Structures are given as structure tokens and as C-alpha cells.
């Protein structure tokens, strides 16, 4: 099948399109639009991969899907709808994760190019590596609200997706969450942790009880006076929160009294914390503000009304009971996964976050707002996706004509810049970062850690979460000693040993590789006594992701995803993109270009 009508394109492009094979990764907002454009233009062979199913909140922009398709495979329905536009195109749909052994380097090599329409960093990083390994061009796209971007990634000619370290996701110190919250988000994070402690996967890093190891509280005599069960690790309870809640049969009043009464009184006893802060006010179940008050006049969506404390407590009780019932119906040892679209899970977090906010004199939020923050929802509209997908397919046409150098990045701005530009192209391709630990000819990165404490298990996590590998193998350079193996069980017996114990020291080099990604990197260990976990070091000036990051979000379909690492949660949007701003003065862009988070940031007025 050639472009349907001769004469629309010149002969060269017509022929290049007729002989092309394209892989589209993602059938969401941008993916649907890209697929439509490709099919209409007459691209004869397209494969599309997406592991998601259709949700009703997709329908305002993912126009290949209709109400009757909710719950079905995005890739399959997108294929069926797109075929109706041009039945002679060959489309192969995969309802699958692109991160799979089924899609290795040879699979990628069969395509002329890959077009990314993804919504998360993990998959973007992975496809980036696959395209570098297969040496085929990748057109990377993303939108966030009104903004968006299209960029070409071509090995050796442009930056790769990982050339510039991404800003780590916002994290909050444990003691802020557990002891001294000052913003609504701190209470929301706490409430999500509480959900996991009570109903979800218990994670020791998500403790919700007062943290007596808070350095600020040092020297507080009152702390130990009130309770005796405090442990040296700083956790007040030996018993897990889950076990305790279970013993009380998830009695809402008892849970409430402990979480919002006793624990708060305990925090008050840590007097040092409140010398310069407004102290919290414990709450009592039977005496909550708002009881008996008529519901205030409200004109927005029902979810946009802020609940009174009395209502919060009722929702807390009801959602606890519902979640407990849900948990009970599951096999022993199974747990719930927090999902913003599950009514009780969302109710629970809204109620708990607001009760805690009230206690700490922090502004309350509506369920609607808390859903955005807890679910990390990035708004998405049809028009921005249409524009970005249109630009992406025009860039694909440039590439097929051999005009690689013309394929500079293009940014869709939320508002025009001072030159009146709404779509802003870069003047030239952005050269690769020679120090990139992914696309450099000899990738290298330093790992700062305390060799006396970091175990091999931690090291494996560092490679997966920090270097975004799927199944790392590591050998000691020059010695051939296998430190980590992706073969199940092969090095598990060493899991708890520290790096020092297996003979690694400051300056030791490891050769770490991921077979699927066809990616190998040299990792140099740096001894840092003060490092509690690990930290990647490429350039001392650039902060790199470490492991202790707070994710405000877990995507609703997280269960199907490869396990997200700390630096890479699945986000509910068509993007977690960052925008590289073109230099507004028209001068050549400074290197490295300034990266900014997409958003309404061009109009931010700073009052501080």
C-alpha cells in the first residue's frame, strides 16, 4: 500500500513510506493519534504495543476508544478502529509490556523507526536502550496539559533519553511525614503509607508512627517517659500496625484514637519538635468539629466539597470496614494495592489525610484535589495530543526522506513565547552527552555507598532502580568474579553479604550488563562512610537519583507493570516529560540545556 493518492508527496517520500515498517509503543492519548495519522498517510506496516486496558477517563482524548470498549485491550481496540480508516494497512497489536524478552534487539531491528507514546519513565528508558542497541531512530513524544514535545533520538547524532539525568521525583524526609508535616502532600503521603500498613504491602520504610530517631527530637526526655515500647530503630511499636489493627478487628474508633489521639500526644511529648512549630492538636472520636452542622452550600462537583472533621471520621470508619472486608476475601497473605480509582481506597486516603491535616493546622483539601495529588494525575486533553502526534508523524516523514539533521526537537508551549511561537523547534540537533552512562561508547558511572553496609541485595536494587536495568549481571573487572547473576538463585546465597565482605573496596570496578537491553556499563565503587544507601555519581554538580525517594503516586494499572523502582513510578498521564527550553534570546542554547518540568511554569510569578 502506498500513500493513497499519488501526488500528495514527492516520489521519494511516497516510496519510502511504502517500504516502511513502524513500531508504535503506547496506545494512549498520543498513541491513538499517531496510529490514525500513520494509517491515513498510508504507512503500510505498523506494530503497536500497549499493556493497558481502556478506562472511562481515557475517553475525552483517546478517540479510538468508546464507552463500550472500557476494560478491553488498548492495543487491540486501537488496531480495530484504525483499520476502519484504511483497511489495507497491516497492523499487528500486542497487548503486552514492551519490557519483555519477546521484544529483544532483533525484534526492534526489523523496524525503520520506533515512535514512543508512553506515560512512564521506566518504559521510556527501556525503549531508549533498545533503540540504541538496535541502532534505529526513536521519535519520543510526551504531553502534559497544554504542553508537549517531540524529539528524535538517534544513536551518535542526538542526545539519548538518558543523556541528562532526570530530576529525581520529589521526596520527603521520613521525619517530615511521620512527625512534622507542614503541607497537604505530607499528610497525603502519610495516608497512603497508612493504607499500605493496614491493608497493602507492608514496607518498613513507610512507617506511620512517631519517629523517635528524629534528630530534631534528640534529648527529649519526655519521649521515653510516655511509652516504653519504643525501639532503638526509632519505631514506637514492635508490633506491626497491621497486626495491632487486626487484633482490634479494625475497629474504627480504636484505630482513630491511636492514630489521631495517642500518636499525636506522643509527638507532643517530643517537645523539641514544637519549640519553633505550632504543635498539633490530638482529636477525640466522640468530639469532632462539624458534628450536627448542616452541609455547607456547595456549587462544584460533589467531590470538590471539603468534608468536615465529623464527615472525615465517618468516611474513615466506612472505608476501613470496606477495605477490611476486601482484604478478608483474599487468600491468606495477599494484600490490597492502593488505587486512586478504587472508591474505598481513595475515600480512606482523603479522610486520613484531612484528619491529619486538621491536627497539624494544615489546609484541608477536597477528595477531587487529593485524588490529583495522591494519584499523580497529570491533566490531558485531546488537542495537545493531536498536535504532538501530528508533529511526530511529520518528523517521521522527514526521517524517511533522509532529513535526519532537520529533525530537531519541537516543543508545544502552553502559551506563545515572546516571539509569538506556539511550536518552537530547536535550531540544531542536540549532541549526545559524551559522559552519558547509557549512550557513551564506553559507559561508566560511579556508585557512592558505604561498602561496609551495602549488601549485594541492595546493589542489585541500585542497578535496577538507579540504572534502570531489568536483569543485571555483574562481574568484578579483571577478575571475572560473578557478583550478581540474573540467573535465578545463582548468587542468592550472597544476598545479605556486604560489598566489603565479598572483597570489594573503594575504587573497585564492576562490569554490569543487562542482556535484554544489550547494555553494559562500568560501575566504579566509591566508599562514602556517611552514605546510608547508594547514590549514582556522574557529574558532581548534578543530583542523581538515589533510592530513598517518596513516590506520591502509583498508577492505577501498576500491578501489570514491571515493578517500578523508586525513581520511576508509573504515572497516570501521557507524560512525565521534561521540556528543554529553547533559549529565549535566540542565542545558541547553553550546554547542557536547561531542563524544566512541563507545566504552567512559564507564567509563574515568584513572590518570595
Partner 1 sequence: MVENNGVELSEAEAEQYDRQIRLWGLESQKRIRSSKVLIIGLSGLGAEIAKNIILSGVKSVCLLDNEKLKETDLHSQFLAPSDKIGENRAETSLQRARALNPMVEVTAETKAVEALPDSYFGTFDVVCATGLKQEQLERINNICRDKTNKFLCGDVWGMFGYMFADLFDHEYSEEIVQHKAVKRGPDDSEKNARETVTINVKRRAIYVPLQNALSADWTKPELRSRLRRGDPSYFVMKILLRFRDEYNRNPDPAKRKSDTEILLRMRDELVKELNLPVGFVSDAILTDVFGIVAGAAAVVGGVIGQEVVKAVSQREPPHNNMFFFNPVKCVGFVELYGQ
160 interacts with Zn ion by CB under 5 A: yes
Span of 7-15, 131-139, 219-227, 327-335 interacting with partner 1 by CB under 8 A: 7-15
Binding site feature residues for ATP = 26-31, 50, 58-61, 74, 119-124
Span of 40-48, 152-160, 234-242, 456-464 interacting with partner 1 by CB under 8 A: 40-48
For residue 592, cis peptide bond before it (omega within 30 degrees of 0)? yes
Q: Which of 1, 16, 268, 381 binds partner 1 (CB under 8 A)?
A: 381
The cell for 364 is: 484541608
59 interacts with partner 1 by CB under 8 A: yes
Least spacing, CB of residue 186 vs partner 1, in Å:
9
Query: Burial level of 455, CB count in 10 A (0-12/13-18/19+)?
Result: middle
Residues whose CB falls within 8 Å of the CB of residue 270, separated by 6 or more in sequence, listed in order: 179, 210, 212, 214, 217, 220, 222, 223
- State the binding partner of 439 from partner 1, Zn ion, none, CB within 5 to 8 A by kind: Zn ion
- State the binding partner of 294 from partner 1, Zn ion, none, CB within 5 to 8 A by kind: none
Overall residue count recorded for the chain in this entry = 608
397 interacts with partner 1 by CB under 8 A: yes
- Of 29 and 165, nearer to Zn ion (C-beta) is 165
Span of 214-222, 305-313, 376-384, 471-479 interacting with partner 1 by CB under 8 A: 376-384
32, 175, 320, 568: which is the annotated catalytic residue? 175
The cell for 157 is: 547524532
Residues whose CB falls within 8 Å of the CB of residue 10, separated by 6 or more in sequence, listed in order: none
Least spacing, CB of residue 340 vs partner 1, in Å:
11
Distance, in Å, from the CA atom of 564 to the CA atom of 107, rounded to the nearest integer, reads 24
- State the binding partner of 86 from Zn ion, partner 1, none, CB within 5 to 8 A by kind: partner 1
225 interacts with partner 1 by CB under 8 A: no
163 interacts with Zn ion by CB under 5 A: yes
Distance, in Å, from the CA atom of 184 to the CA atom of 368, rounded to the nearest integer, reads 13
436 interacts with Zn ion by CB under 5 A: yes
384 interacts with partner 1 by CB under 8 A: yes
Distance, in Å, from the CA atom of 522 to the CA atom of 95, rounded to the nearest integer, reads 35
- State the binding partner of 419 from partner 1, Zn ion, none, CB within 5 to 8 A by kind: partner 1
Distance, in Å, from the CA atom of 271 to the CA atom of 267, rounded to the nearest integer, reads 8
Span of 139-147, 190-198, 429-437, 487-495 interacting with Zn ion by CB under 5 A: 429-437
Distance, in Å, from the CA atom of 521 to the CA atom of 511, rounded to the nearest integer, reads 6
- State the binding partner of 303 from Zn ion, partner 1, none, CB within 5 to 8 A by kind: partner 1
Let me know: does 130 contact 102? Beta carbons within 8 Å.
no
Binding to Zn ion, residues 541-560 (CB under 5 A): none
Q: Which of 276, 418, 442, 591 binds partner 1 (CB under 8 A)?
A: 276
Least spacing, CB of residue 527 vs partner 1, in Å:
31
182 interacts with partner 1 by CB under 8 A: yes
Least spacing, CB of residue 151 vs partner 1, in Å:
12
CB atoms within 10 A of CB 92: 12
- State the binding partner of 32 from partner 1, Zn ion, none, CB within 5 to 8 A by kind: none
Distance, in Å, from the CA atom of 399 to the CA atom of 137, rounded to the nearest integer, reads 8
133 interacts with Zn ion by CB under 5 A: no
CA–chain centroid gap for 514, Å, is 22
Let me know: does 189 contact 170? Beta carbons within 8 Å.
no
Binding site feature residues for Zn(2+) = 160, 163, 436, 439
The cell for 468 is: 534502570
Span of 38-46, 132-140, 478-486, 557-565 interacting with partner 1 by CB under 8 A: 38-46
CB atoms within 10 A of CB 555: 22
Catalytic residue check, 32 = no
- Of 72 and 155, nearer to Zn ion (C-beta) is 155
Distance, in Å, from the CA atom of 514 to the CA atom of 469, rounded to the nearest integer, reads 6
Q: Which of 243, 416, 481, 542 binds partner 1 (CB under 8 A)?
A: 416
- State the binding partner of 532 from Zn ion, partner 1, none, CB within 5 to 8 A by kind: none
Distance, in Å, from the CA atom of 536 to the CA atom of 445, rounded to the nearest integer, reads 7
Q: Is the dihedral of CA 419, 420, 425, 431 positive or negative?
A: positive
| DSSP state string for 115-171 | EE--S-HHHHHHHHHHHHHHT--EEEEEEETTEEEEEEE-TTTS--TTSSPPPPPP-
Number of residues that bind partner 1 (CB under 8 A): 78
- Partnered with residue 448 across adjacent β-strands are 526, 535
Binding to partner 1, residues 290-349 (CB under 8 A): 300-301, 303-304
Let me know: does 578 contact 168? Beta carbons within 8 Å.
no
CA–chain centroid gap for 334, Å, is 24
Least spacing, CB of residue 202 vs Zn ion, in Å:
38
Query: Burial level of 576, CB count in 10 A (0-12/13-18/19+)?
Result: buried
Binding site feature residues = 26-31, 50, 58-61, 74, 119-124, 160, 163, 436, 439
In 451-575, beta strands by DSSP E: 472-476, 482-484, 509-514, 519-527, 534-537
Span of 19-27, 323-331, 375-383, 438-446 interacting with partner 1 by CB under 8 A: 375-383
- State the binding partner of 438 from partner 1, Zn ion, none, CB within 5 to 8 A by kind: Zn ion
Least spacing, CB of residue 199 vs partner 1, in Å:
25
377 interacts with partner 1 by CB under 8 A: yes
41 interacts with partner 1 by CB under 8 A: yes
Residues taking part in catalysis = 175
Q: Which residues are near Zn ion by CB under 5 A?
A: 160, 163, 436, 438-439
Amino acid at each position: 500500500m502506498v500513500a493513497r493518492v499519488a501526488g500528495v508527496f514527492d516520489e521519494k517520500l511516497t516510496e519510502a513510506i511504502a517500504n516502511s515498517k513502524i513500531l508504535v509503543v503506547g496506545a494512549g492519548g498520543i498513541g491513538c493519534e499517531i496510529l490514525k495519522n500513520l494509517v491515513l498517510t498510508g504507512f503500510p506496516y505498523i506494530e503497536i504495543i500497549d499493556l493497558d486496558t481502556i478506562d472511562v477517563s481515557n475517553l475525552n482524548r483517546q478517540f479510538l476508544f468508546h464507552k463500550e470498549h472500557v476494560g478491553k485491550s488498548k492495543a487491540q481496540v486501537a488496531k480495530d478502529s484504525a483499520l476502519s480508516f484504511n483497511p489495507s494497512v497491516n497492523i499487528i497489536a500486542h497487548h503486552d509490556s514492551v519490557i519483555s524478552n519477546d521484544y529483544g534487539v532483533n525484534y526492534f531491528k526489523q523496524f525503520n523507526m520506533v515512535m514512543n507514546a508512553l506515560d512512564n519513565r521506566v518504559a521510556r528508558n527501556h525503549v531508549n536502550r533498545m533503540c540504541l542497541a538496535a541502532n534505529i531512530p526513536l521519535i519520543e513524544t510526551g504531553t502534559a496539559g497544554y504542553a508537549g514535545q517531540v524529539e528524535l533520538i538517534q544513536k551518535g547524532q542526538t542526545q539519548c533519553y538518558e543523556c541528562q539525568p532526570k530530576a529525581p521525583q520529589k521526596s520527603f524526609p521520613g521525619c517530615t511525614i511521620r512527625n512534622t508535616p507542614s503541607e497537604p502532600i505530607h499528610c497525603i503521603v502519610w495516608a497512603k503509607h497508612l493504607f499500605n500498613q493496614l491493608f497493602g504491602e507492608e514496607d518498613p520504610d513507610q512507617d506511620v508512627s512517631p519517629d523517635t530517631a528524629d534528630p530534631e527530637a534528640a534529648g527529649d526526655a519526655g519521649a521515653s517517659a510516655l511509652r516504653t515500647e519504643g525501639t532503638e530503630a526509632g519505631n514506637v511499636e514492635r508490633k506491626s500496625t497491621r497486626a495491632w489493627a487486626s487484633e482490634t478487628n479494625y475497629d474504627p474508633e480504636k484505630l482513630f484514637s491511636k492514630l489521631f489521639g495517642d500518636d499525636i500526644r506522643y509527638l507532643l511529648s517530643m517537645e523539641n519538635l514544637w519549640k519553633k512549630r505550632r504543635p498539633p492538636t490530638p482529636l477525640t472520636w466522640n468530639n469532632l468539629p462539624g458534628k450536627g452542622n448542616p452541609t455547607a452550600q456547595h456549587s462544584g462537583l460533589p467531590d470538590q466539597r471539603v468534608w468536615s472533621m465529623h464527615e472525615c471520621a465517618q468516611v474513615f470508619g466506612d472505608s476501613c470496614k470496606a477495605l477490611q472486608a476486601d482484604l478478608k476475601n483474599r487468600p491468606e497473605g495477599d494484600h490490597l494495592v492502593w488505587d486512586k480509582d478504587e472508591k474505598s481506597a481513595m475515600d480512606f486516603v482523603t479522610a486520613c489525610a484531612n484528619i491529619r491535616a486538621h491536627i497539624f493546622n494544615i489546609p484541608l483539601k477536597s477528595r477531587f484535589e487529593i485524588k490529583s495529588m495522591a494519584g499523580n494525575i497529570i491533566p490531558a486533553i485531546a488537542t495537545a495530543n493531536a498536535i504532538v502526534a501530528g508533529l511526530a508523524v511529520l518528523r517521521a516523514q522527514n526521517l524517511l526522506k533522509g532529513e535526519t539533521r532537520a529533525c530537531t526537537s519541537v516543543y508545544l508551549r502552553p502559551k506563545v513565547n515572546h516571539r509569538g511561537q506556539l511550536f518552537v523547534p530547536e535550531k540544531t540537533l542536540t549532541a549526545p552527552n559524551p559522559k552519558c552512562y547509557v549512550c557513551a561508547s564506553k559507559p561508566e558511572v560511579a556508585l557512592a555507598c558505604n561498602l561496609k553496609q551495602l549488601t549485594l541485595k541492595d546493589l542489585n536494587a541500585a542497578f535496577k532502580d538507579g540504572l534502570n536495568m531489568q536483569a543485571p549481571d555483574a562481574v568484578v573487572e579483571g577478575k571475572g568474579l560473578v557478583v550478581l547473576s540474573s540467573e535465578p538463585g545463582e548468587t542468592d546465597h550472597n544476598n545479605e553479604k556486604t560489598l566489603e565482605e565479598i572483597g570489594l573496596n573503594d575504587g573497585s570496578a564492576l562490569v554490569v550488563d543487562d542482556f535484554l537491553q544489550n547494555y553494559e556499563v562500568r560501575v566504579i565503587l566509591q566508599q562514602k562512610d556517611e552514605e546510608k544507601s547508594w547514590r549514582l555519581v556522574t557529574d558532581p554538580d548534578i543530583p542523581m537519583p538515589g533510592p530513598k525517594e517518596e513516590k506520591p503516586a502509583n498508577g492505577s494499572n501498576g500491578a501489570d507493570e514491571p515493578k517500578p523502582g523508586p525513581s520511576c513510578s508509573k504515572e497516570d498521564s501521557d507524560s512525565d516529560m521534561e521540556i528543554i527550553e529553547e533559549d529565549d534570546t535566540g542565542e545558541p542554547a547553553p550546554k547542557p540545556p536547561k531542563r524544566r518540568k512541563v507545566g504552567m511554569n512559564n507564567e509563574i510569578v515568584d513572590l518570595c
